[in-house]
A and B are shown apart, each in its own frame.
Chain A
Amino acid sequence: MIHAIHCTHCDEEAVIALFNDDDIEKKDPFCCNGCKTVYNILHDKGLDDYYQIKNNSKAYKRRSPVEVKNEKYNYLDNDDFLNEYSYANKDGLRTLEFYLEGIHCLACLWLVEKMPEFLEDVEVSRLDMGKSVASISIKPSGHFANIARELNNLGYRPHPLKRNEETIALKQKEDHKALIRIGIAGAGAANTMLFADFLYGGADGAYAHWFSLSTVVLSLPVLLYSAFPFYQNAWNAIKTKTVSIDVPIAIALIFGMCFGFYNLINGINHNYLDSLTDLVFFLLLSRYFLKKVQEKGLSANDLNFFYQSTSVLKKEGEEFIEIHPKYLKINDLIKVKANEIIPADGVIVSGESMLNNSLLTGESLPQKVKVGDKIFSGTQNIDNELIIQIEATDKNSRIGKILKQVEDGWIQKAQIVELTNKISKYFIYTTFILAGILFSYLFLQGRINDAFSRSLTLLIVTCPCALALATPLALTSTLSKASKKGIIIKNDEVIEKLSKVTSVFLDKTGTITYGNLKVQNFKKTSQSSLPLFDIIATLEQKSLHPVAKALREFATENGATQLLPMENYIEILGVGVSALIDQHFYEIKNWKLLQDQQEIASFELSDQIRKDSKAAIDSLKFLEITPKMISGDNADIVNKIAKEANLDQENIWANVSPEKKLNLIENSTNAIMVGDGANDAMALSKSFVGVAVHGSMDISLRSADVYLTTPGISPLVDLVIISRETMKVIYRNLTISLIYNCFSVIAAYNGFITPFIAAVIMPISSLTILLSTVIGTKELNTRLRID
């Protein structure tokens, strides 16, 4: 068996390994140019320790190869922008927060936080690894654009986050409050237990009275302050006439408190306060952990602050100045260079070029545009400079309208009632009916004291704490597993939904395929006087056209060794290139290479299927989920890819407009939509579960429920496995807790439950749930092969 070569920088498998020119022994392979560039930058700066630290530390998240993006980030120094996004510190520094793509291990922390040592203006650089958010403070003389460029060079693509001190302070205050609630609950519960212990141990007389008074005093801050969120949630649920698990918990807590006071006043030195404070502590803790895990990665909230990270050249007088697209107006003239994204809808007033529409429409081949043509924001200009007159910006542009529909659709998205809340509804009715029956039965027998105490006991001991623990515990471990696998889940409802999924709609361009052109079926038809691949590399060295890019890569992969001297180079847009090399006239046009008008080679170009797509689709079939493909591309290409991906003929749709995609999704039940482009956004937001793949547009990220941070669709298979296993654990946990509750109801009916028995049973039921979850997590680890 041949060992796969892994990239020195990102550890991904290097299919075609690249090496530095001076690396003669070929010791440091790279998977792509991006990784190679970053490696060399680090080396030049003397930051080689990065690799040592990386190899010594356990990877914290998976990282994918570095994408080379040439952004200038000049808009970061725009005053309007700075006022809106950054804030001034007390000591004269200015702070801006960035979400950094690609933060994955200890070495990243080292690199980002060492910035003040190799960048002049950076004063403080702090990274929160859990959130991948760096907070960077610079001197007034510094420029954020420089820093963003540097971060980009190091392979962490920065996205400025809109933060100001108020929102940060507010968020922190909430976090602190939650922690203090837990702290007080912990201290209160532990001490209450201690004093209750003396009571169970047989303290009597004046001591017993003092001890029980102590339990009441100690439990008050827990039941009044720490447990406040339960009362609040319960009240909200009652107000909206829904039921949540917090309702029965609040009921048990309130009755427990009354019972405690009543007994204290009547000189009965027993109460349930130790068990109840205990449960408040456990519940708060489990919910806190769940919240912390959810905040890992990019939260849905942060996504709304995501700034479109591009700048645009606007004509002002005779010159073009760099501004942010947000400040564009109708009738402005803008210049869009090669490889830039068109920032607004408009008409071309000068220049002609090729446009890549794939993100907007799903077409994989570029389209030619000329003066007078209307072009849309979100498309990419491929090879020539264009001057565009703006016709619609922001909300009025085609993409803006889609975005608006997405936002509206978001609100209408089908909600499901979560399993625990569904159960808690029946739970409440059942316990109240049972308590009522018990009360009237004993009351009619004339045992009034018994009637009160036993029915109250019933309500207290059936407090569904294990039930309330079941879901958060399972989800906490699941979400952290998922984020380790590079899957960011925006809300935990998705897990329950995913386990019910029966079919999955996959977008073609960029999802099943790579989303860029590759050379295929290269045929050498006759002899050339010079090495064939050298000729191709020479001819295509200057063109920015995607065909040229594909051919260059193809030539390099096939062993082009040198660039030959050429003369009379001409590129005709949309046709091809020609030049004179060694007194022969060479042309590349119509997917053919010609030497003095004679064909010497032919090739085909197409967007290729990702190497893991077929395996992922087969796995989905194995999991009994029907994979379906919808694409805006033409039928020929779609059929070809479908065949390669092993998709059934009846499950593919070609030439589908964004609106039709939406329609298809709306008419199918329990289907996942997976996509990346703007044309998928509406479908993503309306679908049962929307998944945005790596490299998606901002708009798709916003509308999806799940975001895959590693390329390809194979994480989707993990996602389905994770959700199914998690639901298994949740079902098991719920069953266990219901069994405990049945038992306590029977015992309470017969008057067996004393505060002592409750103090034993209630924590044990919670521990069983914990154990069941731990076992479930172990099982999940083996299925996902995580150590």
Chain B
Amino acid sequence: MEIIYFILPLVMGLAVMFVCGFIWMTKQGQYDDLETPAHRMLLDDQKLTLKTLNINPSINDLNKEKK
């Protein structure tokens, strides 16, 4: 059971590391807006309609072929 004297500080060290990570992320602003980014990522690929039609005709064709 002497292993506990090694494990104990290790565990504490890990905990401190994670807490430091959390503090760093908070200060970076990761938790500033919890709502919008979740929606935003769904829309990243959604280009304007006109552009979709003009620039990526090949994708439209591909979809048709699949059907």
In this complex, which of B31, B39, B47 has the most chain A Cβ atoms within 10 angstroms of its Cβ? Answer: B39
For window 26-60 of chain B, which residues contact chain A by CB distance below 8 Å? 26-27, 29, 31-36, 39-40, 42-43, 46-51
- Of A48, A175, A187, A210, the residue contacting B32 (CB under 8 A) is A175
Contact A183/B49 with A106-B39, A207-B1 known, Cβ cut-off 8 Å: no
- Of B4, B15, B35, B47, the residue contacting A187 (CB under 8 A) is B15
Q: What is the chain B residue whose CB lies nearest that of A106?
A: B39
B8 near A214 with CB under 8 A, answer: yes
For window 1-40 of chain B, which residues contact chain A by CB distance below 8 Å? 1, 4, 8, 11-12, 15, 18-19, 22-23, 26-27, 29, 31-36, 39-40
Interface residue stretch chosen among A125-133, A519-527, A559-567, A693-701 = A125-133
A106 near B26 with CB under 8 A, answer: no
B23 near A48 with CB under 8 A, answer: no
A49 near B35 with CB under 8 A, answer: no
- How many residues in B have their beta carbons less than 8 Å from beta carbons of A? 29
Contact A180/B26 with A46-B48, A48-B49 known, Cβ cut-off 8 Å: yes
Q: What is the chain B residue whose CB lies nearest that of A43?
A: B49
Bound-state CA distance A179–B40 (Å) is: 23
Contact A110/B49 with A179-B26, A180-B23, A187-B18 known, Cβ cut-off 8 Å: no
Q: What is the chain B residue whose CB lies nearest that of A117?
A: B48
A172 near B32 with CB under 8 A, answer: yes
Q: What is the chain B residue whose CB lies nearest that of A184?
A: B19
Bound-state CA distance A723–B31 (Å) is: 30
CB distance from A307 to the nearest CB of B (A): 23
- Of B11, B26, B42, B47, the residue contacting A176 (CB under 8 A) is B26
- Asked if A53 is at the interface (CB within 8 A of a chain B CB), the reply is yes
- Asked if A74 is at the interface (CB within 8 A of a chain B CB), the reply is no
- Asked if A191 is at the interface (CB within 8 A of a chain B CB), the reply is yes
Bound-state CA distance A656–B21 (Å) is: 62
Bound-state CA distance A548–B40 (Å) is: 46
A130 near B31 with CB under 8 A, answer: no
Bound-state CA distance A126–B39 (Å) is: 12
A106 near B43 with CB under 8 A, answer: yes
Bound-state CA distance A126–B15 (Å) is: 35
B33 near A183 with CB under 8 A, answer: no
B4 proximity list for chain A (CB < 8 A):
207, 210
A176 near B27 with CB under 8 A, answer: yes
Bound-state CA distance A126–B23 (Å) is: 24
In this complex, which of B29, B49, B50 has the most chain A Cβ atoms within 10 angstroms of its Cβ? Answer: B49
Contact A130/B43 with A114-B48, A176-B27, A214-B8 known, Cβ cut-off 8 Å: no
Contact with B along A769-785 (1 / 0, CB 8 A): 00000000000000000
A110 near B19 with CB under 8 A, answer: no
CB distance from A228 to the nearest CB of B (A): 16
A183 near B23 with CB under 8 A, answer: yes
Contact A106/B42 with A183-B22, A183-B26, A207-B4 known, Cβ cut-off 8 Å: yes
CB distance from A50 to the nearest CB of B (A): 9
Bound-state CA distance A210–B7 (Å) is: 12
- How many residues in A have their beta carbons less than 8 Å from beta carbons of B? 32
Contact with B along A129-158 (1 / 0, CB 8 A): 110000000000000000000000000000
Q: What is the chain B residue whose CB lies nearest that of A118?
A: B48
Question: Looking at chain B's contact residues, is the secondary structure mostly helix, strand, loop, or mixed?
Answer: helix
A172 proximity list for chain B (CB < 8 A):
29, 32
Bound-state CA distance A625–B20 (Å) is: 54
Contact with B along A48-64 (1 / 0, CB 8 A): 11000100010000000
Bound-state CA distance A85–B4 (Å) is: 59
Bound-state CA distance A446–B52 (Å) is: 87
Bound-state CA distance A14–B1 (Å) is: 76
A128 near B43 with CB under 8 A, answer: no
- Asked if A47 is at the interface (CB within 8 A of a chain B CB), the reply is yes
For window 207-230 of chain A, which residues contact chain B by CB distance below 8 Å? 207, 210, 214, 218
- Of A47, A118, A175, A183, the residue contacting B19 (CB under 8 A) is A183
B50 near A46 with CB under 8 A, answer: yes
In this complex, which of B4, B11, B43, B46 has the most chain A Cβ atoms within 10 angstroms of its Cβ? Answer: B43
A113 proximity list for chain B (CB < 8 A):
40, 43
- Asked if A537 is at the interface (CB within 8 A of a chain B CB), the reply is no
B34 proximity list for chain A (CB < 8 A):
130
B46 near A49 with CB under 8 A, answer: yes
Contact with B along A29-45 (1 / 0, CB 8 A): 00000000000000001
A110 near B35 with CB under 8 A, answer: no
- Of B19, B22, B40, B47, the residue contacting A109 (CB under 8 A) is B40
Q: What is the chain A residue whose CB lies nearest that of B18?
A: A187
Bound-state CA distance A110–B29 (Å) is: 22
- Of A48, A106, A191, the residue contacting B15 (CB under 8 A) is A191
B36 near A47 with CB under 8 A, answer: no
B33 proximity list for chain A (CB < 8 A):
128, 130
CB distance from A112 to the nearest CB of B (A): 10
A214 proximity list for chain B (CB < 8 A):
8, 12
A118 proximity list for chain B (CB < 8 A):
48
Q: What is the chain B residue whose CB lies nearest that of A292?
A: B34
B23 near A47 with CB under 8 A, answer: no
B32 near A129 with CB under 8 A, answer: no
Bound-state CA distance A183–B22 (Å) is: 7
Bound-state CA distance A126–B36 (Å) is: 9
Bound-state CA distance A48–B52 (Å) is: 12
CB distance from A79 to the nearest CB of B (A): 31
Bound-state CA distance A126–B50 (Å) is: 22
A184 proximity list for chain B (CB < 8 A):
19
Known contacts A109-B40, A183-B26, A210-B4; 14 further A-B pairs (Cβ under 8 A): A46-B50, A46-B51, A47-B48, A49-B46, A117-B48, A126-B36, A128-B36, A175-B32, A176-B27, A180-B23, A183-B23, A184-B19, A214-B8, A214-B12
Q: List 20 A-B contacts (CB under 8 A).
A: A45-B48, A46-B51, A49-B46, A49-B48, A57-B39, A106-B39, A109-B36, A109-B39, A113-B43, A126-B36, A128-B35, A172-B29, A176-B26, A180-B26, A183-B22, A183-B23, A187-B22, A191-B15, A207-B1, A218-B15
